[in-house]
Amino acid sequence: MTTRLAHILSVAGLALAPLAPAGCATPTSCSIAAGADGTATLSCTDGSSYVIRQGADGAKGVDGIDGSGKDGADGTSCAVEQKAGTTTITCSDGSTASISGGGGGAGVLPTFPTLAGNFNVESSADIALLQAMAVTEITGSLSINSTALTDLSLLANITTIGDTLTIGAFGGTSLKGLENVTSVGGLNLCGYGGCANLTSASEVTGFTTLATGSLQVGGDLLTSLTFPNLTTIAGDLGIGGKALTTVALPKLTSVGGNLGISGVAKLTAFALPELTTLGGALEVVNSQELTALTSVSLPKLTSAKRLYFLELNELSSINFAKLATVPNDGGAGLLIRNCPKLASVAFPALTSAEKIIMEGDAILKSVSFPLLTSCPYLAMTSCPKLPNCVCTNLANKLMVEGNCYNNDELGVCN
């Protein structure tokens, strides 16, 4: 922890104990005294001082979602002790942070409203250090990575995170303490099942813009996730989480990277009603857990580099009313494969696609691309209910060879 503090001071242009050059005035010296109320005061001969206050107990966790869940663990409290030139922050969960004091210095230990660089929280003492320095802004990323951590309430001073806020390994039932963060570059929430007890993430859903990073959502117990005011994501949007039944982003208009949905066993419908711009690909892929999804609706999306719908056993409806182009990014363009309950496909505004492939869709019998004028590669295969003439007629219109086989050879086209 001493190394971390030295780095922080170095970034801020300060030092713990610099030497005075020859011929210069004697440097300011500082001392630390513990107070009877649990605080510690850093006093310097230039008259300046800095008080480190003891952290308060964190709040108890909230009840489970059905009203019968057990209470969360008590919050962690931390105390400050000065001994033999070293100030030690000791927390009730056993974590500690030590700050070694010295003789003189070019400046005193100040508050740090802006902390340059990244900060990784692995213990309650790390959180207490941020509070003691009164940090409100972190220019880099903030990562929370410890299943032993159950209380984040001492992070309530932080309002701005320049890069990504990552909630990785975390043992708590609530993200209380992060509700005052109003600006963040990106959000990585409970990836790879890292939030074993977290049922709600309402404290981190008030952002309007993720200006530099992505939104990645996981977690095994999160059931509902709503970002009511989010309009722009600079990077990717990734939706996961075994228990999610609702995902709502009603104002989202732009995603700079890819959009992926996978591993969401209970999600039945996915809609982004205002999304117009997608810089990358849309992939909805069954990863052995995406088993309930029946509909995907992006009615205002105008372009995507590729669209994949793969092995979705319950998918029966897709809505891309304004999608105009699917340019090739080295992938398969528009691909719909092994979706046994999808009976019809319509892209009324699509004018060009590098590839269109439909394969193994058991009840697909209606396909409509009324405005399509350019598609160098067209394939419709192994769709037993689809009249083969749908494929051959479209291929003739586009003046391409077309791969049309194992469909309904006797089916009639209008």
| pLDDT per residue as tens, the chain (414 positions) | 434 444 443 334 333 333 333 333 444 455 556 666 656 565 655 565 555 555 554 445 444 444 444 554 555 555 555 555 555 666 666 665 555 544 334 334 456 789 999 999 998 888 888 888 889 999 999 999 988 899 999 899 999 999 999 998 889 988 999 999 999 999 999 876 678 888 888 888 889 999 999 999 988 888 888 899 999 999 999 998 888 898 999 999 999 999 999 888 899 999 999 999 999 999 998 766 778 999 999 999 999 999 999 999 999 999 999 999 998 767 779 999 999 999 999 999 999 999 999 999 999 999 999 999 999 999 999 999 999 999 999 999 999 999 999 999 999 997
pLDDT at 40: 59
CA nearest to 155, candidates 126, 188, 178: 178
Q: Are 78 and 57 in contact (CB under 8 A)?
A: no
CA nearest to 307, candidates 258, 375, 255, 239: 258
pLDDT at 19: 31
Residues 6+ apart with CB under 8 A from 90: 78, 79, 81, 96, 125
Q: Are 44 and 16 in contact (CB under 8 A)?
A: no
pTM given for the model? 0.75
Report the distance separating Cα 191 and Cα 330, nearest Å: 28
Q: Are 165 and 142 in contact (CB under 8 A)?
A: yes
Matching residue, tokens 């409100």: 136
Report the distance separating Cα 29 and Cα 32, nearest Å: 11
User: Within its chain, how far is the Cα of 193 from the centroid?
Assistant: 13
Long-range contacts of 341-347 (CB under 8 A, 24+ apart): 341/294, 341/313, 341/314, 341/315, 341/316, 342/309, 342/312, 342/315, 342/316, 342/317, 342/318, 343/316, 343/385, 344/368, 345/318, 347/320, 347/323, 347/372
CA nearest to 175, candidates 64, 89, 59: 59
Report the distance separating Cα 110 and Cα 377, nearest Å: 65
Report the distance separating Cα 320 and Cα 295, nearest Å: 11
pLDDT at 95: 61
User: Within its chain, how far is the Cα of 201 from the centroid?
Assistant: 11
Residue 75 half-sphere exposure toward CB, CA atoms < 13 A: 21
- Classify residue 336 as exposed, middle or buried by CB count within 10 Å of its CB (0-12, 13-18, 19+): buried
Q: Are 87 and 81 in contact (CB under 8 A)?
A: yes
- H helices of 12-105, in order, are none
The neighbour count for residue 166, using CB atoms within 10 Å, is 24
Domain ranges across the chain: 2-105
CA nearest to 322, candidates 267, 274, 264, 378: 274
CA nearest to 236, candidates 252, 257, 251: 257
Residues 6+ apart with CB under 8 A from 150: 58, 61, 72, 73, 75, 76, 171, 172, 173, 197
Residues 6+ apart with CB under 8 A from 382: 359, 360, 406, 407
Element (H, E) at 277: strand 277-278
Handedness of CA 14, 19, 20, 22 (dihedral sign): negative
